[in-house]
Chains A and B, each alone.
Chain A
Amino acid sequence: MSNEDLVTLLYIVGFALFIVGLRMVRGPRTAVRGNLIAAAGMAVALIATLLDDRIGDWVLIAIGIAIGTAVGIPAARSVKMTAMPQMVALFNGVGGGAVALISLVEFREGDDLELETLIPIVFAAIIGSISFWGSNVAFAKLQELSWAKRRFPRFTVPNIALAAVTLAIAIAIVAGADAEILFWLLLLSAGLLGVMAVLPIGGADMPVVISTLNAFTGLSAAAAGIALDNTALIVAGMLVGASGSILTKQMAEAMNRSIGNVFFGGFGGAAGAVAAGDDGADRTVRSTSAADVAIQLSYARLVVVVPGYGMAVAQAQRAVADLAAELEKRDVEVLYAIHPVAGRMPGHMNVLLAEADVPYDKLKEMDDINGEFARTDVALIIGANDVTNPAARNVPDSPIYGMPILDVDKASSVVVLKRSMASGFAGIDNPLFYDEKTAMLFGDAKASVGEITAEVQQL
């Protein structure tokens, strides 16, 4: 077996590990191992590359890797959990930057490059540069650096012009204009495009932006792979390009936003302001899935169930008790918060839950449980509405102002099981549903709880 065959063989092992690893990151139980397997794949691919006959300049390679390690490890170790998204943006950016630099060197090195090399090089340079500069702006915005915090208008017309310029330079290079200055200009205009496209986008939409740029970097890596005739780059790059695109779409859907809206809508920057305002018309609710709720609940320490009339109508008390039993098997503490007027009569909830064999000491009166919400990981609201409405506390002109309520909005996160967005008995809107830590699971309470229990059992 020739050395080249050995390298190729190891590459195949490497990207098989990437695929297996990524598959495992899809499930909460296997995710940690999946990430390690993907990292092992990267190690195999790296070793294979170092075995390649063309490798030279060992000292420079060592210097580069040493610098990268010295920067990367402490950065990844010390970053706070809350700052994770911007860290990912930064790591994504340097990947794109590396692609842009590689294509620049390839262009400088090669005379009379064939089109099948030149076109991918130009493509990789454009996308890599957009990704590098765009990601850095995304980082700056999430980090709330002062210059990035300003509100920017959408540069739609300049961006179209810039895209046209970039394309024109690219065509000139591909058509044979072998001037190095053109390539630098190409990187510059693409980079500028990256900056101006991301600058006006609001922080709330940034995860979608980062995910898009992540897919971009993947595509640019795949293009570089074609230019370098390297299978590992092609497969790994395209894998990320494709999975990143799907992920972007799913993320945008989960946030009730379309990708077009994020990049061209002009709404993103104002999202916070609108949600904080009081007009119900423009506010959005976040809907979730049974699978997500199951994960949230399984990894919580304290879950407080807030039952209401909806649970009674759906006759969901037995299903709720089953879910609680399943969670308790996983060491999750489950309590029930009973509002004095939950349901249609005092004691309504207690009766229903007792019928489902819920131990009496788990049922907490409003005054006893309100202090607990601060340490509650998930408040699971099942068909209750007005008794959780924070308007009763802080909107003096609300019809229910002054009514004592369950302080569910103090919990780390809130999941609301509800048939629809219809308002409760009092006929008023509930700002809780628009809170950013609230997720809605629409449907019949009994069916929804059953689905969640099934998902919990599978975890």
Chain B
Amino acid sequence: MDLLTELAILVLAAFVGFEVISKVPNTLHTPLMSATNAIHGIVLLGAILVIGPADGFLNDLLLVIAIAFGTINVVGGFLVTDRMLGMFKGRKPDPKAEEQ
């Protein structure tokens, strides 16, 4: 894909990003940060794409670490967000016990 097309996609994605988070109640700042955090775990895909063509022990080792890191980012990110948002799921038996 040529660079200019990629830049066009980049700029459009930036505007979408700005729009999506226009006005958020403070209460949702942390869950939203956590959700976007999970989404940049997309780098996992980058590591997976690079490991096939890469040669040599060191390169493979670095990429296995990168894949593990990316997986932690994705899996952990979405799970933690889900847990944080649990407080909006409805009334819990005792939210205070959870907080302390």
Main secondary structure of the interface of A (DSSP, over half): helix
Cβ-neighbour of A32 out of B9, B34, B89 (below 8 A): B89
For chain B, residues 60 to 77, give those with C-beta under 8 angstroms from any C-beta of chain A: 60, 62-77
- Please give the distance in Å from B73's CB to the nearest CB on chain A: 4
Quote the shortest CB–CB distance from B90 to chain A (angstroms). 9
Task: Indicate the size class of the contact surface on chain B.
Answer: 35 or more
Residue A329 lies at the interface, judged by CB distance under 8 Å to chain B: no
Neighbouring B residues of A116 by C-beta, 8 Å: 3
Q: Which residues of B contact A75 (CB under 8 A)?
A: 72, 76
Of A46, A73, A226, the residue contacting B44 (CB under 8 A) is A46
Q: Which of A32, A106, A217, A242 contacts B15 (CB 8 A)?
A: A242
Give every chain A residue within 8 A of B44 (Cβ-Cβ).
46, 68, 98
Cβ-defined partner of B68 (8 Å) among A68, A245, A331 = A68
CB A254 to nearest CB in B, in angstroms, measures: 5
Cβ of B84: which chain A residues have Cβ within 8 Å of it? 81, 84
Size bracket of the A interface: 35 or more
Of B3, B50, B86, which contacts A106 at CB under 8 A?
B50
| A28 and B28 contact, CB distance less than 8 A | yes
Which B positions have Cβ atoms within 8 angstroms of A? 1, 3, 6, 9-10, 13-18, 20-56, 58-60, 62-89, 91, 95-96, 98-100
Q: Which residues of A contact B (CB under 8 A)?
A: 15, 18-19, 21-23, 25-29, 31-32, 34-36, 38-39, 41-42, 45-46, 49-50, 52, 54-57, 60-61, 63-65, 67-69, 71-73, 75-77, 79, 81-82, 84-85, 87-88, 90-92, 94-95, 97-99, 101-102, 104-106, 108-109, 116, 207, 210-211, 214, 217-218, 220-222, 224-226, 228-247, 250-251, 254, 288-289, 291-292, 295-296, 299, 301, 331, 375, 377, 412
